[in-house]
Chain A
């Protein structure tokens, strides 16, 4: 495990995350939950106001299910920390940010210089997502 990368100003949430099964089966008062790639994020929706950290596992960087989980949580109004953990590579972080992830626990270290350049590279985006970016069609028509 390498350093946690955070794009939030609040303090990192330290309580260990429980699995979705454990959360559902009695630990619904836990404030940190870990979702595996195949877990249904919608199960958490009734509890979002008391969850402070959702960690989503990426077993392989090619497994993109976590991107949908993240958006679903953000679209449901979740504002706590959303952490991508596992096989998270520098070239994925821009997309992950757009889907609502604001913290990253990559298995291998991320080159900060490459990351900074990658996050600044695109001035425009075609579609709205779970971030504040204004899609190109809105820029075109005001």
Chain B
């Protein structure tokens, strides 16, 4: 894992001091809320329905037990004893006081963490594959590149007052576990015929009210030019995006309006202008960063766990994934207990996961974009012990990628922009389908409480969108989306439903799937084969 040196620490400490000063000026009335808003948003502080919400960056979703324990400490000390892991691999606290926010940042800085650029019109925390460094299908660990981007985009002077937010994801395998093509820039590390490493560069993906899957704008960018090329993308966008309509300022709109080819040409031209600035990070610096990501000292030996306990065997089959090193496995800890709040974890649970990582996973944890936690490097021999500890903590739900492994946004329970509640719908669906979720197989269900799409509903195999219908909460149903390597956007089935009606509608959808599925087909495969027509009658009669 990356460790700060004196420079990284100095920058984060200075940021705490800066924010303390900004908060003081706001509390003293020296600056208006309007002037303070972009400043606090550059630091992850949102004003919500009931309190401030603070979003803490977990760069590319990787953290160690010391950092995880600090997150638990913050939940206990400054919040109501829990935190909420997000779809961009961060954590949010929902009950924060402005007066205490600078102290939280100071606490975070002691464990090399921060909330820099986690909201607002800035380059956000870089996301990546939660299995990075552990999965057999990657060509290299993508995280050194993610860390390089983190540093180079932190307080970038030219790109700190962007038209809108800007999100970057980096992956290094064919399977996409990070919704890479739903980011403003998606990068996939690949090798060319000569064996050199480069990036496929996708630009202009995003959710929100106008979702797009990012088109490829460059098939092979030599790795040494990663940063200057990103700067070119940012500069073209910063200079030419609209500034008169907040809903049309994301880079996805620009790429769509110009067309991917013309946009790519503009970026190439700008890149030629930027190259002489020599802003690319040199290979020696990359090597320094990469040295922090060398694989841990795996032990030899491969012993399959004893499957005698049937509940344990179910968990093994559902939540444990193959590791690139024999004798090891990747453990997914579900934060989706049936009937719980997706992505929430109590301070005690966070501490327990930290303990398990320290004892059994080379001190590493990952946050996933599906709002779960991963222990990336676990000896197979330790799996049973870990499972027992998770059972005791209420963290052993065996539902990875099943219908109850729901992504849901905070919705009307917390969010000032919401049209409808998301959490109760998620709870009802999980409860209704828990008994037959294994039969339904992989089924990614995602819920947003409004058109902003924080809950990724466009990318759900089944998506749910909360809308306001003449003052009452109403839910639209979408089918056929995917955030994975086969990315697609879901389509609305037709008229919406009430809160209970949507749960019934999903039951009709899944019944229809079971009736028409062919051997080995996932829900998504069946939908793609039979289309919306194959479901419409079942849904609306």
Chain A residues in the interface with B (C-beta under 8 A): 37-38, 40, 61-65, 67-69, 71-72, 75, 89, 91-92, 94-96, 98-99, 111, 114, 117-118, 121-129, 136-137, 139-141
CB distance from A9 to the nearest CB of B (A): 23
Scoring A95, A124, A125, A126 by chain B CB atoms within 10 A of each residue's CB, the highest score goes to A126
Cβ of A126 and Cβ of B155 under 8 Å apart? Answer: yes
Which residues of A are found within 8 Å of B277, using beta-carbon distances? 75, 128
B contact patch SS: helix
* Distance in Å: Cβ of A74 to nearest Cβ of chain B: 10
Q: A63-B243, A123-B10 are in contact. List 20 more A-B contacts (CB 8 A).
A: A62-B38, A64-B159, A64-B161, A67-B157, A67-B161, A68-B158, A68-B239, A71-B158, A75-B273, A91-B39, A95-B157, A99-B158, A122-B11, A124-B10, A125-B155, A126-B152, A126-B155, A128-B279, A137-B282, A140-B7
Given contacts A114-B21, A114-B25, A121-B17, contact A127 B279 (CB under 8 A): yes
Instruction: Judge whether A92 and B25 touch: CB under 8 Å.
Output: no
Q: Is B284 an interface residue (CB 8 A)?
A: yes
Chain B contacts of A71 at CB under 8 A? 158
Give B266 Cβ to nearest chain A Cβ, in Å. 13
B162 at interface by CB-CB < 8 Å: yes
B224–chain A nearest beta-carbon distance, Å? 13
Task: Contact check, A63 vs B279: say whether CB atoms are below 8 A apart.
Answer: no
User: Is B436 among interface residues, defined by CB-CB distance under 8 A?
Assistant: no
Give Cα A38–Cα B151 distance, bound, in whole angstroms.
29
Task: Answer yes or no: B492 CB below 8 A from chain A CBs.
Answer: no
Contact check, B10 vs A137: say whether CB atoms are below 8 A apart.
no
B15 to chain A, nearest CB (A): 8
Whether the pair B281, A137 counts as a contact (CB closer than 8 A) is yes
Cross-chain pairs A/B with CB under 8 angstroms, 15 sampled: A40-B239, A61-B38, A62-B161, A63-B243, A65-B238, A65-B239, A67-B238, A68-B235, A91-B22, A95-B155, A99-B157, A127-B152, A129-B157, A140-B288, A141-B284
> What chain B residues lie within 8 Å of A129 (beta carbons)?
157-158
A71 smallest CB distance to B (angstroms): 5
Complex Cα spacing A95 to B238, Å: 15
One of B11, B21, B285 near A137 (C-beta < 8 A): B285
Q: In the bound complex, what is the Cα–Cα distance between A131 and B232 (angstroms)?
A: 19
Q: What CA separation (Å) do A62 and B39 show in the bound complex?
A: 11
**A64 pairs with B282, CB closer than 8 A:** no
* A117 partner residues in chain B, CB cutoff 8 A: 21
Count B interface residues, CB 8 Å. Answer: 43
From B151, which residue of chain A is reached at the shortest CB distance?
A126
B154 within 8 A of A: yes
User: 9 shortest A-B CB distances, which residue pairs?
Assistant: A64-B161, A98-B157, A137-B285, A95-B157, A136-B7, A126-B151, A67-B158, A124-B7, A122-B14
Contact, CB under 8 Å: A126 / B11: yes
* A89: chain B residues within 8 A (beta carbon): 35
Q: Which of A95, A123, A140 contacts B14 (CB 8 A)?
A: A123
Contact of A122 among B35, B155, B162 (CB under 8 A): B155
Nearest residue, chain A, Cβ from B277:
A75
Give the distance in Å from the alpha carbon of A125 to the alpha carbon of B155 in the complex.
8
Contacts of B276 in A (CB 8 A): 75
B209 at the A/B interface (Cβ < 8 Å)? no
Chain A residues with CB under 8 Å of B160's CB are 64, 67, 95
Q: Could you count the A-B residue pairs with CB atoms below 8 Å apart for me: how many are there?
A: 104
Tell me the nearest residue of chain B to A60, going by C-beta.
Answer: B243
Q: Is B468 an interface residue (CB 8 A)?
A: no
For the complex, give the distance between the alpha carbons of A20 and B160 in Å. 25
Chain B 6-27 per-residue mask, 1 if CB under 8 angstroms from chain A, else 0: 0110110010011001100100
The CA of A61 and the CA of B17, in the complex, are separated in Å by 22
Interface of chain A: mostly helix, strand, loop or mixed:
helix
Task: Let me know if B278 is at the binding interface, CB within 8 A.
Answer: yes
Contact of B238 among A68, A111, A139 (CB under 8 A): A68
Closest to B6 in A: A124
Q: Which residues of A contact B279 (CB under 8 A)?
A: 127-128
Inter-chain CA distance A3–B285, complex, in Å, is 43
Q: Which residues of B contact A99 (CB under 8 A)?
A: 157-158
Query: Is B156's CB within 8 Å of the partner chain A?
Result: yes
Residues of chain A within 8 A of B176, CB atoms compared: none
Q: Which of B148-175 contact A (CB under 8 A)?
A: 151-152, 154-163
A118 near B158 (CB under 8 angstroms)?
no
Separation of A89 and B276 alpha carbons in the complex (Å): 31
**Residues of chain B contacted by A128 (CB below 8 angstroms):** 277-279
Chain A residues, Cβ within 8 Å of B30: 111
Q: Is B121 an interface residue (CB 8 A)?
A: yes
Tell me if B285 and A140 are in contact (CB < 8 A).
yes
The answer on a CB contact under 8 Å between B14 and A121 is yes
- Chain B 229-247 interface 0/1 with A at a Cβ cutoff of 8 Å (1 = within): 0000001001100010000
Name which residue of chain B comes closest to A118, CB basis: B18
B299 within 8 A of A: no
**B273 x A140 contact (CB < 8 A):** no
Q: Of B7, B10, B243, which contacts A65 at CB under 8 A?
A: B243
Shortest Cβ distance from A115 into chain B, in angstroms?
A: 11
B404 CB to nearest chain A CB (Å): 41
Q: How far is the CA of A136 from the CA of B154 in the complex (A)?
A: 12
CB-defined contacts of A64 to chain B, threshold 8 Å = 121, 158-163, 238
Q: Are A141 and B152 in contact (CB under 8 A)?
A: no
Determine the chain A residues whose CB is within 8 A of the CB of B162 once the complex forms. Answer: 64
- Please give the distance in Å from A39's CB to the nearest CB on chain B: 10
Residues of B within 8 A of A127 (CB): 152, 156-157, 227, 279
Report chain B residues within 8 Å CB of A38. Answer: 243
- Of B25, B156, B161, B239, the residue contacting A61 (CB under 8 A) is B161
- Report the separation of the CA atoms of residues A95 and B151 in the bound assembly, to the nearest whole angstrom: 16
Residues of A within 8 A of B309 (CB): none
How long is the Cα–Cα vector from A113 to B172 in the complex, in angstroms? 48
Closest B residue, CB atoms, query A98: B157
Is residue B193 contacting chain A, with contact meaning CB distance below 8 A?
no
Question: Is B439 on the interface with A (CB-CB < 8 A)?
Answer: no
Beta-carbon nearest neighbor of A133 in chain B: B157
Q: Determine the distance from Cα of A109 to Cα of B181 in the docked complex, in whole angstroms.
A: 45
